[in-house]
A and B are shown apart, each in its own frame.
Chain A
Amino acid sequence: MTLHVLSVLVEDKPGVLARVASMFARRGFNIHSLAVGPSAEPGNSVMTVVVNAAEIEQVVKQLRKLINTIKITELDPAESVEREVMLVRVSADATKRGELLDAAAVFKAKAVDVGAASVTFEMTGTPAKVNDFLELVRPYGLIDVVKSGWIALARDSKTRNLRAIS
């Protein structure tokens, strides 16, 4: 199984997310992450769907078959920018705080909340980098982790368009 990153342009209509999720469930496809937000053109949304699949062709075709799907692009990691945002609250009293803040500085993670027993970091980076930071702080004791899911954009004029099938 491989992770495939799909950028999916959909009409911004009620229930589009449910249609996508329902189709994945019905066809037995595996969503690794899904993030959605408004697109550049008003009236549409862009979903970044990361799919764990051996073969991506059927996934793309079934997504394309949804009436509200306008366009699908598979993004090659080498030719696109991929980012994820993570908020992580780590157990840390005053004795550990310095160490953690040093580590965070290396990863360019920001301390966004500091309490008596914990520090919360905001980390934005490639999904791999975000994971590295998570593993680094895990031994201190994770209290909460939330991730945005991947978002991605093709680098200028390097888009491989999967729409044309015939």
Chain B
Amino acid sequence: MKITVAEALLKALEFEGVEVMFGHPGGAILPAYDPLYDSPIRHILARHEQGAGHMAEGYAQATGRVGVAIATSGPGATNLVTSLANAYMDSVPIVAITGQVPTYAIGNDAFQEAHTWGITMPATKHNYLVTDAAEIPDVIHEAFHLAGTGRPGPVLVDLPKDILNTAIEWREPTGRIDLPGYRPNTKGHPLQIRAAIDLILQAERPVLYAGGGVIAAGAHAELLELAEAANLPVTTTLMARGAFPDNHPLCLGMPGMHGLYAAITAMQKSDLLIAVGARFDDRVTGDPAAFAPDAKVIHIDIDPSEIGKIRTPDVPIVGDARTVLAQLNDKLARSLDGLEAPEHAAWLETIHGWQRDKAVSYEQNAAGPIKPQFVVEELYRITGGDAIVVAGVGQHQMWASQLWTYTKPRTWINSGGLGTMGYAIPAAIGAKVGMPDQLVYAIDGDGCFQMTMQELTTASTEGVPIKIAVLNNNNLGMVRQWQRLFYNERFSATELTDHTPDYVKLAEAMGCVGLRAEHPSEVGPVIEKSLTINDRPVVAEFKVDPDEMVFPMVPAGGSNDNVALSVEDLR
């Protein structure tokens, strides 16, 4: 029986196990929306394609499955680009389906034509422009394979309208992957495993440097096993929060520009860094030439191009984090042969000293104003930490990372590498759609909130009861912080004005419940109230102190030897 490519697309998506996709229709993709009407696949109608893309990302980050976004040609596709670039930076597996003008019109500057394939090439792991209708089942299968295996990432499939309307003979994807150039190496080389264990057993001041690859690979249990077996303190990067329990005695917390003093300094003074699924990002290393000068490096990554890109390792290991960590655990046990691993007692004691003396601190005055950190801590206390936390980008993101005790992977979702403001609301919607039984609480800033707040309508009309804490300081807080510290307090274009918008009215106008706290005593009750409402999304606005700054801080490009704990340290 012949069916159209559009119908075949839906069948192919079902074949991949897709339950939901996030999108926005339009002219060129219309043929695909027709069979969607009868399809068991749920469609979430975003209010902007960027939102659809971030929803697919949030879904993928919360569930570990491939997220799907769908949009039309031209502006539909270009609006998706930010989410693709974000997914590429943070290795989030998504498949984006876009409509394209008919093949005979391509190149003629047709209505809503954009060179989607060319525009998205450097923002995707791979992309396709389908010109042979018969290929569609295999292309979709390949796209999911590429997105979800190896180093995960976004894959885009561009479908011209005439191709979507072409009748083809349906056949299930063969399952055969014809990608001769794509064979990710998953198992570490045995000689390198042995060399790594030798270094680990010799090290006096080791640090396990866990990145987002640990979560992507589902390697948290293996990471814990290695850390405990070899007494290795562990730092979890912004992308790896939750990969190692924050309440574990070996946990250092987040490193980097706004990381914890103990994490930054332990890396800096270490004699061995064991990087797992981490990429020596500039926000972690500061000035790379001054980073961890005495450390030997074991670098484990599934992407060979990450190894040696910033720091030349002593022991490079290409492989899947989970597989390689399991190999290391196995080899370590055999090397120790019943003996105890080095305790690193002096090293751990030094670290614990830093943790005691250089902890993150703030003061909440009972008279107000509300400190943003206090809101995060109250949220943690009242929810018991049993939530998926989703953040945008800026001060609120750093506090949400620093002050929450993450104990499980996939409970912290944010935009790390690209730093995409406005990520929180749509990503929270995606996370809640994927994990409907979990509390999903976005912690957002007012600047970020205003970038994607139209998606509140998506949340209310699609029945996705997320909760959003808006830390409203009436400012683009992180930019303002830099202006205060490095631009002589010349606050150019960072003030967002006091009452515009009125977040409570705005929330209500968009089908959500709006709550507000203006005084420290109102913070707890507002959070408690927000937890009682589960039939609609909730926006809880907290009017917070605009002068609060994020510390610790290593100024951009500076050496990690100079961690500022307060503004005095920078003067």
Contact = CB atoms under 8 A, between A and B. Distances in A.
A10 B181 contact: yes
A102 interface: no
**Residue of B125, B182, B303 most packed against chain A (CB within 10 A):** B182
A78 interface: no
B121 A166 contact: no
A165 B146 contact: no
Contacts of B77: none
Interface in B412-449: none
B182 A166 contact: no
B185 interface: yes
Contacts of B129: 14-15
Contacts of B303: 65
Given A64-B305, A166-B316, A70 B192 contact: no
B305 A62 contact: yes
B181 A70 contact: yes
A131 B217 CA distance: 52
A165 B188 CA distance: 11
A67 B122 contact: no
A79 interface: no
Contacts of B180: 11, 70
Chain B: number of interface residues, binned into ranges: 20 to 34
A11 B179 CA distance: 9
B561 to A, nearest CB: 27
Contacts of A165: 304, 307, 316, 318
A81 interface: no
Chain A: number of interface residues, binned into ranges: 20 to 34
Nearest to A66: B181
Contacts of B318: 165-166
Contacts of A11: 180-181
B189 A166 contact: yes
B308 interface: yes
B557 interface: no
Interface in A52-111: 57-58, 61-62, 64-71
Given A61-B305, A67-B125, A166 B188 contact: yes
A116 interface: no
Interface in B308-342: 308-309, 316-319
B122 A65 contact: no
A126 B181 CA distance: 31
Interface string A145-166: 0000000000000000000011
A30 interface: no
B293 interface: no
Contacts of A65: 303-305
B118 interface: yes
B354 interface: no
B348 to A, nearest CB: 31
Contacts of B182: 67
B304 A166 contact: yes
Interface in A16-44: 18-19, 22-23, 26
B117 interface: yes
Contacts of B344: none
B298 to A, nearest CB: 12
Given A18-B118, A62-B305, A67-B126, A166 B185 contact: yes
A104 to B, nearest CB: 43
B304 A18 contact: no
Nearest to B180: A70
A14 B117 CA distance: 11
Contacts of A69: 181
Nearest to B131: A14
A126 to B, nearest CB: 30
Contacts of A18: 118, 121
A69 B182 CA distance: 8
B122 A58 contact: no
A69 B303 CA distance: 15
A22 B122 contact: yes
B95 to A, nearest CB: 14
B386 to A, nearest CB: 39
Nearest to B319: A166
Nearest to A55: B308
Interface in A97-145: none
A58 B304 contact: no
A70 B316 CA distance: 22
Contacts of A166: 185, 188-189, 192, 304, 316-319
Given A166-B188, A166-B189, A67 B181 contact: yes
**Residue of B125, B305, B316 most packed against chain A (CB within 10 A):** B305
**Residue of B122, B189, B303 most packed against chain A (CB within 10 A):** B122
A26 B118 CA distance: 13
A11 B128 CA distance: 14
A26 B126 contact: no
A64 B121 contact: no
**Residue of B126, B179, B180, B189 most packed against chain A (CB within 10 A):** B180
A124 to B, nearest CB: 31
Contacts of A66: 181
A19 B125 CA distance: 11
A19 B129 CA distance: 13
**Residue of A10, A18, A19, A67 most packed against chain B (CB within 10 A):** A67
B502 to A, nearest CB: 43
A34 to B, nearest CB: 17
Contacts of B307: 61, 165
Given A23-B122, A67-B146, 20 more contacts: A11-B180, A14-B131, A15-B121, A15-B129, A19-B121, A22-B122, A26-B122, A58-B308, A61-B308, A62-B305, A64-B305, A65-B305, A66-B181, A67-B126, A67-B182, A69-B181, A165-B318, A166-B185, A166-B316, A166-B319
Question: Would you list the 10 A-B pairs with minimal beta carbon distance, nearest first?
Answer: A166-B318, A61-B305, A70-B181, A165-B304, A67-B126, A69-B181, A26-B122, A70-B180, A166-B189, A67-B182
21 contacts: A15-B121, A15-B129, A23-B122, A26-B122, A57-B308, A61-B304, A61-B307, A61-B309, A64-B304, A64-B305, A65-B304, A66-B181, A67-B126, A67-B179, A68-B181, A70-B180, A165-B318, A166-B192, A166-B304, A166-B316, A166-B319
